[in-house]
Amino acid sequence: MLVAESLRKEYGEVVALHGLELAVRAGEVFCLLGANGAGKTTTIQLFLGFIAPTSGKATIDGLDVAERPLETKSRIAYIPENVMLYPNLTGMENLRFFTTLAGRGELSDAELGEMLVRAGLARDAHPRRVGTYSKGMRQKVGIAMAMAKRAKALLLDEPTSGLDPKASNEFSGLLSRLRDDGVAILMATHDIFRSKEDGDRVGIMKHGQLVATHATADLSHADLERVYLEHMHD
Amino acid sequence: MADRTSQRSVHRALILKELREISRDGRFRVAGAVVLALLLATLAFGAREQQSVKAERAAAQATADDHFRAQDEKNPHVAAHYGTYVFKPSGVLAFVNPGVDAFVGVSLKLEAHKRNPLEGAKARDGTALSRFSRLSVAQVIELLVPLLLIGIGFGVWTSERERGTLRQLASLGVAPRALLLGKLLGLLGAMALLLVPAGLLGTAIVALLVDLGGPGTLPRGLALVAGYAVYILAWVLLTLLVSAHASSSRAALVTLLGLWVVGGLVVPRLAADAAVAAARAPTSARVAANVRESLTRGLPGGPDREARVSELTEKLLERHGFLGAETLMDASLLSGLELQAEAAFENEVIDHHFAVLARALDRQDRFLQLFGALSPVVAVRSLSMALAGTDGAHHRHFSDSAERHRRELVELLNTEFAERGGALGFDYKAGRELWAKAPVLRYEQPTLGWVLGRQWPSVALLVGWLVLAGAGALRAVRRMRVV
């Protein structure tokens, strides 16, 4: 579903991504681990078409992101590290706006409220302006937005940052349900524990290269941590 | 996304969101309320003032007509010297844009032998400051509405990027055109909150005054509304363009304010000075002096006064079958015909010099309109003044009409003198029966077609601004950086 072929991104002299080869199948959760600046966010932004590749290509459902930006985006949902919303609109209004734009038509208050609750946002927050929300609450609205889109693929850039452990755990539950529905999920994260829990495979990125890929079933938490730290040493 | 219903709901969601965001913004509420109050106040005061001006001018016209009809018995030619006054009836739409009314004058004296300039300009009695003392509806629409628009719209794209919502928006797969349309309609909707009440009041005012206006008021009014709509739409698109293109909200605001100052204050001033410099027009004192000189010496390159008047007298004698029989004619008949010949000569001289003036002023007008390519404010201002009937061209149109009227009146008096004076000559006196026959000036504003015939460069440039800003905004949105 999500395929990177020799995907390369340069910023002037700096190479942010060296010819990445990656394929995430439908119904698979692939976690990208790595330090800041390893190229995780660059990879996700290339799939989103926010930046253009220097060479190689990213495809979604067989469509080249650079050539078919609108069709590829209609197949994905995206949750960034910091979900940013319109502060003068309520949580409900924000969700309605984004789901309508995502092509879901106009949903009722009850449907939207249900989505927010499933994402973990308490009902009393729905009619409040987002300007008053904490980061975690905004993140939950972002999760509801992504769920509502019913996308074929999810691109997650540290989606649980700022969520408390309980909310983070609930998010894992949502992810596994989506995986069971056949959604391809690419998630950049710092969280080794959650990668082992949620991911089918983990990839370790360093200096713009995917240096190792492992199936999580083959590794224990401790193994994964050890492998990760080994790669982090030069 | 492909089906229509969902596209329509996408548009609706975009518009609704922009409207909500704008209307929940305290800055918009305060600034919007101020601009709305100014618009309504200028409309109301403008209309009231215009009504009182209309009443004053009508009363002055009636008094002048009464004076003329009530004058004592006297020789008709003496009455032509005594003369009368005409006042420019003000068009219904003058309340929107008083144009050059205050600077040009609204009345003129009609008398034998002379074409007088318009007089009674209000601005001559005031100081330079009084130019600014009265804010017109046109000024509010032309300058303050775009300023408000800039204030609410400069961050329309940049703040989405700065707040990070643009990433969210861009990940949805909404076509840039749909996003632009949503933003456009959102901003227009916010503007409509201000302009619709003002427009309704404006319409109500016109509707109340319409019986006082000619049949041309409605097409002119509609054209005026259309012109301002295109103008505001062009500013909305320009704001969207700059905001999509700018690297930050600050840069967008500074750029837009720069455009506003240059387009709204600098270029119009420059355009007026450049137009005057490019096509020098004689002052009315100069025209009067030229006319005086040609009246004694004849037109440049033509026969002198005496030669031309006797030519014209002969033509008149021939036309009346008296050629060679002057000695047999009544003194009055001959004097009357000579007066007519003199008047014809004077008219030739006047026509010549006023045509020179009109050509120069028309050149200035066209030159000024070209500056609309540098600023939409120049284009809309020129168009709006013309549609309101308060530009220089309308004053000349009135002045020409008053001149034709003057000639009719002088001809009537001179003919009466020639035909009825008999042997009395200049001792012949006519009375109220003759004065009552004096024609009344029924001035009608020129048609909309006449206005557009002169204003087509402004119309074309205004539409050009709209198209360019629209194309530029779409291009800028398509190429906008997300991160």
Q: Do A101 and A194 belong to one domain?
A: no
Q: Do A160 and A46 belong to one domain?
A: yes
Chain B residues in contact with A145 by the CB 8 A cut-off are 168
Query: Pick from A74, A100, A142: which is nearest to B13 by CB?
Result: A100
Report the alpha-carbon distance of residue B11 to residue A101 in Å, rounded: 8
Query: Pick from B163, B174, B483: which is nearest to A101 by CB?
Result: B174
* CB contact (8 A) between residue B167 and residue A78: yes
Q: β-pairing, A2-11 with A55-60?
A: antiparallel
Mean of the per-residue pLDDT values of chain A:
91
- A73 and chain B in contact, CB less than 8 A: yes
Measured between CA atoms, how close is A82 to chain B, in angstroms? 8
Closest by CA position to A192, among listed A148, A154, A230? A230
Report the alpha-carbon distance of residue B89 to residue A56 in Å, rounded: 75
Report the alpha-carbon distance of residue B243 to residue B31 in Å, rounded: 20
The pLDDT of residue B1: 43
State the best of B5, B161, B168 to mutate against chain A, taking most chain A CBs within 10 Å: B168
* CB contact (8 A) between residue B172 and residue A101: yes
Chain A residues in contact with B8 by the CB 8 A cut-off are none
Query: Pick from B163, B172, B175: which is nearest to A102 by CB?
Result: B172
Q: Do A109 and A203 belong to one domain?
A: no
Measured between CA atoms, how close is B145 to chain A, in angstroms? 24
**Helix (H, G, I), strand (E, B), or coil: what is residue A12?**
coil
The pLDDT of residue B122: 64
- A9 and chain B in contact, CB less than 8 A: no
Instruction: Give CA torsion, residues B120, B124, B125, B128, to 10 deg.
Output: 150
Report the alpha-carbon distance of residue B361 to residue B424 in Å, rounded: 46
> Does the predicted TM-score (pTM) go above 0.90?
no
User: Are B249 and B124 a contacting pair, CB within 8 Å?
Assistant: no
Q: Do A155 and A68 belong to one domain?
A: yes
Query: Pick from A76, A87, A98: which is nearest to B168 by CB?
Result: A98
Q: Search chain A and give the residue with CA nearest B171.
A: A73
Tokens of A177: 């349900």
Residue B200 lies in a domain: yes
Taken as a whole, chain B contains a residue count of 483
Q: Roughly what angle, to the nearest 10 degrees, separates helices B176-209 and B145-153? A: 150
Measured between CA atoms, how close is B126 to chain A, in angstroms? 49
* CB contact (8 A) between residue B483 and residue A88: no
DSSP string for B216-247: THHHHHHHHHHHHHHHHHHHHHHHHHHHHH-S
Measured between CA atoms, how close is A88 to chain B, in angstroms? 6
Output the furthest CA–CA distance in chain B (Å, rounded): 103
* CB contact (8 A) between residue A85 and residue B168: yes
Enumerate residues 204 to 233 of chain A having a beta carbon within 8 A of any beta carbon in chain B: none
In one letter, which amino acid is B195? Answer: L
Q: Do A173 and A222 belong to one domain?
A: yes
Query: Pick from B17, B25, B173: which is nearest to A97 by CB?
Result: B17
Closest by CA position to B22, among listed B207, B154, B177? B154
Give the count of Cβ contacts less than 8 A between chain A and B: 92
Query: Pick from A70, A83, A86: which is nearest to B173 by CB?
Result: A70
Q: Do A156 and A69 belong to one domain?
A: yes
Tokens of A57: 């290509």
Tokens of B188: 């227009």
Backbone angles phi, psi at A186, to 5 degrees: -115, 120
Please calculate the CA angle A181-A186-A190 and round it to the nearest 5 degrees.
125
Chain A residues in contact with B186 by the CB 8 A cut-off are none
User: Are B106 and B402 a contacting pair, CB within 8 Å?
Assistant: no
Q: Search chain B and give the residue with CA nearest A149.
A: B172
Q: Search chain A and give the residue with CA nearest B16.
A: A97
Residue A81 lies in a domain: no
Tokens of B198: 């003002």
How many structural domains are present in chain A?
2
Report the alpha-carbon distance of residue A59 to residue B70 in Å, rounded: 95
How many structural domains are present in chain B?
1
Q: β-pairing, A2-11 with A14-24?
A: antiparallel
Residue A98 lies in a domain: yes
DSSP string for A117-180: HHTT--GGGTTSBGGG--HHHHHHHHHHHHHHHT-SEEEEESTTTT--HHHHHHHHHHHHHHHH
Q: How many Cα atoms occupy the beta-carbon half-sphere of B392 within 13 Å?
A: 18
* CB contact (8 A) between residue B172 and residue A89: no
- A133 and chain B in contact, CB less than 8 A: no
Enumerate residues 146 to 205 of chain A having a beta carbon within 8 A of any beta carbon in chain B: 149, 155
Examine the fold and report which residue of A114, A129, A149 is the final residue of a domain before the chain moves on. A149
Residue B483 lies in a domain: no
DSSP string for B248-286: SHHHHHHHHHHHHHIIIIIHHHHHHHHHHHHS----HHH
Which residues does B contribute to its contact with A (CB < 8 Å)?
1, 5-6, 9-10, 12-14, 16-17, 20-21, 24-25, 163-165, 167-175, 482-483
Which residues face B109 on adjacent strands? B85
Spatial strand order in the sheet of A2-11: A14-24, A2-11, A55-60, A63-64
Which residues does B479 contact at the CB level (< 8 Å), separation at least 6?
none
Taken as a whole, chain A contains a residue count of 234
Q: Search chain B and give the residue with CA nearest A42.
A: B483
In one letter, which amino acid is A59? Answer: T
ipTM, two decimals, is 0.88
Residue A155 lies in a domain: yes
Report the alpha-carbon distance of residue B246 to residue B160 in Å, rounded: 12
Q: Search chain B and give the residue with CA nearest A50.
A: B482
Measured between CA atoms, how close is A174 to chain B, in angstroms? 20
CATH number at residue A46: 3.40.50.300
* CB contact (8 A) between residue B171 and residue A78: yes
Q: Do A64 and A98 belong to one domain?
A: no
Q: Do A199 and A220 belong to one domain?
A: yes
- A76 and chain B in contact, CB less than 8 A: yes
Residue A200 lies in a domain: yes
Q: Which domain holds residue B139?
A: 13-478
Residue B7 lies in a domain: no
**Helix (H, G, I), strand (E, B), or coil: what is residue B92?**
helix
Residue B6 lies in a domain: no
* CB contact (8 A) between residue B17 and residue A93: yes
Instruction: Give CA torsion, residues A177, A182, A183, A188, to 10 deg.
Output: 80
Q: Search chain A and give the residue with CA nearest B481.
A: A50
Report the alpha-carbon distance of residue B112 to residue B342 in Å, rounded: 10
The pLDDT of residue B321: 77
Chain A residues in contact with B24 by the CB 8 A cut-off are 88-89
Q: Do A63 and A163 belong to one domain?
A: yes
Burial classification of residue B201, based on how many CB atoms lie within 10 Å of its CB (0-12 exposed, 13-18 middle, 19 or more buried): middle
Give the number of other CB atoms < 10 A from CB of residue A108: 9
Chain B residues in contact with A161 by the CB 8 A cut-off are none
Which residues does B464 contact at the CB level (< 8 Å), separation at least 6?
B373
Q: Search chain A and give the residue with CA nearest B178.
A: A101
User: Are B95 and B203 a contacting pair, CB within 8 Å?
Assistant: no
Q: Do A142 and A165 belong to one domain?
A: no
- A88 and chain B in contact, CB less than 8 A: yes
| Low pLDDT (below 70) residues in chain B | 1-4, 122-133, 206, 209-215, 324-329
Residue A80 lies in a domain: no
State the best of B6, B10, B171, B478 to mutate against chain A, taking most chain A CBs within 10 Å: B171
The pLDDT of A46-52, averaged and rounded, is 93
Helix, strand, coil percentages (3-state) for chain A, rounded to 5, are: 40, 30, 30
Q: Roughly what angle, to the nearest 10 degrees, separates helices B448-478 and B176-209? A: 160
* CB contact (8 A) between residue B165 and residue A86: yes
**Helix (H, G, I), strand (E, B), or coil: what is residue A90?**
strand
Q: Do A118 and A224 belong to one domain?
A: no
Q: Do A35 and A129 belong to one domain?
A: no
Chain A residues in contact with B175 by the CB 8 A cut-off are 70
Residue B331 lies in a domain: yes
Chain B residues in contact with A78 by the CB 8 A cut-off are 167-168, 171
The pLDDT of residue A64: 95
Q: Which domain holds residue A122?
A: 86-149
Chain B residues in contact with A63 by the CB 8 A cut-off are none
Q: Search chain B and give the residue with CA nearest A82.
A: B164
Residue A113 lies in a domain: yes
**Helix (H, G, I), strand (E, B), or coil: what is residue A33?**
strand
User: Are A215 and A201 a contacting pair, CB within 8 Å?
Assistant: yes
Measured between CA atoms, how close is A216 to chain B, in angstroms? 29
In one letter, which amino acid is B154? Answer: F
Residue A177 lies in a domain: yes
Burial classification of residue B224, based on how many CB atoms lie within 10 Å of its CB (0-12 exposed, 13-18 middle, 19 or more buried): buried
